[in-house]
């Protein structure tokens, strides 16, 4: 069952970011009433993030729709029951298919306990997730943002965030991760919220991992 969460910190974060950054003030004003949502499903978020690795948002959405139709219920046993060729037929590379199988096997062997994971800080969540083959820093950050709704995640490897910050803060020129982090100092401790609004500047429809 889909669970949509409105982070309690969102109004405070939006107000403080608006006061700290004129660009974000404008973006927040343009997208009032929208906020980060979590599906409340750890496996779904990680599987969806794996599909989205290193491809455009549009391409990821198309592939994920095909995967969802082919798999049916997005849960570990459903993926493991499906032949690799069928998943590849959805547009997934053989490597991503193997990553999805590894993720499914991990969740079968290690039932997810939200209370336990909720007690870990961001670094520990990332460390544990990156023990699963196919999950790197970016995928772990998408999990922190979209499943755990952690307030202060800055995914500097995200292509969309790079594009938005290049356009708004670097005159459209390629922007270094160092400069991204320097700019983000003014956003502390609400980097997740700032990132989410910058994503909205590229795609008004919120992505839900």
Q: Which residues are catalytic?
A: 158
Asked if 202 contacts 164 with a C-beta cutoff of 8 angstroms, the reply is yes
Cα separation, 10 vs 112, in Å, equals 26
Task: Measure the CA angle with vertex 161, ends 158 and 165; round to 5°.
Answer: 140
Torsion over CA: 19, 140, 182, 163 (sign): negative
Cα separation, 46 vs 121, in Å, equals 18
Q: Which residues contact 26 (CB under 8 A, 6 or more apart)?
A: none
E strand intervals along 9-48:
none
Torsion over CA: 66, 70, 73, 74 (sign): negative
Helices assigned H by DSSP within 21-113: 22-30, 42-52, 57-71, 76-80, 84-88, 94-109
Asked if 38 contacts 150 with a C-beta cutoff of 8 angstroms, the reply is no
Tokens at residue 106, please? 């991990």
């Amino acid at each position: 069952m889909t669970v949509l969460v409105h982070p309690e910190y969102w109004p405070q974060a939006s107000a403080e970011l608006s006061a700290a950054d004129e660009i974000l003030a404008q973006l927040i004003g343009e997208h009032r009433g929208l906020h980060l949502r979590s599906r409340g499903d750890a496996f779904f978020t990680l599987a969806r993030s794996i599909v989205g690795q290193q491809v455009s948002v549009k391409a990821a959405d198309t592939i994920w729709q095909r995967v969802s139709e082919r798999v049916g219920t997005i849960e570990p046993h459903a993926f493991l029951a499906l032949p690799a060729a069928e998943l590849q037929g959805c547009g997934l590379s053989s490597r991503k298919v193997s990553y999805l199988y590894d993720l499914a096997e991990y969740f079968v062997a290690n039932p997810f306990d939200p209370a336990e994971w909720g007690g870990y800080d961001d670094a520990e969540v990332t460390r544990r997730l990156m023990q699963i083959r196919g999950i790197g820093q970016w995928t772990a950050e998408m999990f922190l943002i979209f499943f755990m709704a952690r307030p202060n995640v800055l995914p500097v490897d995200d292509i969309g965030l790079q594009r938005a910050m290049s356009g708004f803060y670097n005159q459209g020129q390629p922007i270094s991760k160092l400069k991204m982090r320097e700019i983000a100092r003014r956003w502390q401790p609400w980097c997740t919220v700032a990132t989410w609004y910058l994503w909205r500047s590229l795609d008004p429809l919120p992505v839900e991992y």
